[in-house]
Amino acid sequence: MTARLESFVPAASPQTVSTPAPAAPAANAASQREARRAAHEALLTRWKAIVESGGADSWVQGQLVSRGLAVGDLDFARASDKEKTAWKEKKKAEAAERRALERQAHEAWKATHVAHLGAGVHWEEDAAGDKFDIAAREERARANGLPELDSTDALAKALGLSVSKLRWFAFHREVDTGSHYVSWKIPKRDGGSRTITSPKPELKEAQRWVLANVVEKLPVHGAAHGFVAGRSILTNALAHQGADVVVKVDLKDFFPSVTWRRVKGLLRKGGLPESASTLLALMATEAPREAVQFRGKLLYVAKGPRSLPQGAPTSPGITNALCLRLDKRLSALSKRLGFTYTRYADDLTFSWTKAKQPKAKRSQRPPVAVLLSRVQSVVEAEGFRVHPDKTRVARKGTRQRVTGLVVNEAANGKPAARVPRDVVRRLRAAIHNREQGKPGREGESLDQLKGMAAFIHMTDPVKGRAFLEQLAKLEAKEQQSPPAA
């Protein structure tokens, strides 16, 4: 590990080293932002002047001439010693000023160009189309309603970022001294834990722009119900209500299996040029990292390839667009075998209803084994894996749950897709205990109970509204109660 860290420890820079700073008043912070904005505008103006001059060398020479520092040639054969000494001093001053101007030109170039995005990332900022571009790329982009992002500068302006900040968000390092993300673990129902990796505010804001203006413009199959406008866990469950057989299949490591290169390919297929696709794919992904102390520094070491973080706003939408062909193939397979198919993120659900089958096939048993075998083949061909321990087959007569809702045939006026009774009973008991002045369970909050009530309201508005009203009264009562001494 030591040798590996030594080879990758990045040089200290304002962008990679995170140093705590004392809190500044709002006015001071605003003035600092204004100063940074003015400095950036000055760099942009300088680069424009360099381009108009015909390049960095021409601009530097022009600056030397305008400042009276350009020194002409000297005929040493005829010059006196005094003239030679004076000429050499002027050449030294000219050389020093030239080096300073060249640094300024390079700073202006860095402010308007990306240049490099880290080890293992192919990047050509000014490259034209290549063999991986789809035919009629611009037409595809317009058909999908994508913005014109034909240059790094255009993308940076669309995101409201400077080019240097865009490069910072996209740059890949195997070992870094900081991170654009914060991570924590949440418990899973099976007793394990799930790692949530959420971007910090500025990157999250940029990702939200990408989600609204790029990702959500890409086509999504009708079988996708998760994180799609107008669809929800309820619409996903209703597609399977009253079925004779419900088959549930879970995809293993769903987000981690979507690497940044797969995201780049998706965006290029959607119509974006390679440069914008590369930057956006890197911005939307991150490598799983381990925090390591090394020689007094806290370093974040990559443990695998960059992939979609579970917690970034762009991740669900990207998987929906990426799964378009998977959903098409599974929908066609389901139709051939007499099943109905939907997908909510990494949960695939198939249902078979006898009444929906052609009369000639109603006496036959649902081909569950054939379905599962072919589903696994399709899933693996599309770059995913079936979780071997999470495939479930629920037949009529047993409780059938789809995305947390019971979808067994409704009876006695019950909603077609409904919250399980144990959840309703748990909420009712929690509210009753609080009304009697008893403390809630450890870790139980009113916000959690309101979430349960809203969950019930989604499928049963009458019952859910009653619970929400009870919780509102409890909340008002707790706010009026004096704090404990």
By three-state DSSP, how is residue 301 classified?
A: strand
Mean pLDDT across 207-235:
97
Instruction: Give dist(CA 404, CA 12) in Å, integer.
Output: 49
pLDDT at 145 over 60: yes
Q: Please report, in angstroms and rounded to a whole number, the separation of the first and last CA atoms in the chain.
A: 53
What's the whole-model pTM score? 0.83
Instruction: Give dist(CA 261, CA 249) in Å, integer.
Output: 26
pLDDT, residue 413, reads 67
pLDDT, residue 358, reads 92
By three-state DSSP, how is residue 197 classified?
A: strand
CATH assignment of 222-255+315-414, among 3.30.70.1450, 3.30.70.270, 3.40.50.720, 2.60.120.590: 3.30.70.270
Exposed / middle / buried, residue 222 (Cβ in 10 Å: 0-12, 13-18, 19+): exposed
| Cα distances (angstroms) measured from residue 179 to each of 16, 169, 456 | 9, 10, 39
CATH 3.30.70.270 intervals, the chain? 222-255+315-414
Q: Where are the beta strands (DSSP E) in 303-362?
A: 340-344, 347-352
Dihedral pair phi/psi, residue 402, rounded to 5°: -130, 120
Greatest alpha-carbon pair distance for the chain in Å reads: 115
Mean pLDDT across 358-371:
92
State percent of the chain over pLDDT 70.
92
pLDDT at 411 over 80: no
- Of 77-81, 98-102, 333-337, 456-460, the one with minimum mean pLDDT is 77-81
pLDDT, residue 22, reads 52
Residue 68 tokens read as: 């009276």
Give residue 17's pLDDT band: very low, low, confident or very high (50, 70, 90): very low
Instruction: Give dist(CA 381, CA 385) in Å, integer.
Output: 9
- Of 192-201, 256-265, 394-403, 412-421, the one with minimum mean pLDDT is 412-421
pLDDT at 377 over 60: yes
Instruction: Give dist(CA 158, CA 209) in Å, integer.
Output: 9
Residue by residue, DSSP assigns 151-192 as SHHHHHHHHT--HHHHHHHH---SEES--SEEEEEEE-TTS-
Give residue 156's pLDDT band: very low, low, confident or very high (50, 70, 90): very high
pLDDT, residue 127, reads 65
In whole angstroms, how large is the CA radius of gyration of the chain?
A: 31
pLDDT, residue 339, reads 97
- Of 157-161, 196-200, 385-389, 412-416, the one with minimum mean pLDDT is 412-416
pLDDT, residue 362, reads 87
pLDDT, residue 9, reads 45
State percent of the chain over pLDDT 90.
70
Q: How big is the chain, counted in residues?
A: 485
- Type of residue numbered 326: L
Residue written as token pair 């520094």? 297
Exposed / middle / buried, residue 473 (Cβ in 10 Å: 0-12, 13-18, 19+): exposed
The neighbour count for residue 174, using CB atoms within 10 Å, is: 17
Residue 420 tokens read as: 């399980």
> Listing from the earlier edge strand, what are the strands of the sheet with 245-250?
340-344, 347-352, 245-250, 392-395
Greater model confidence, 324 or 439: 324
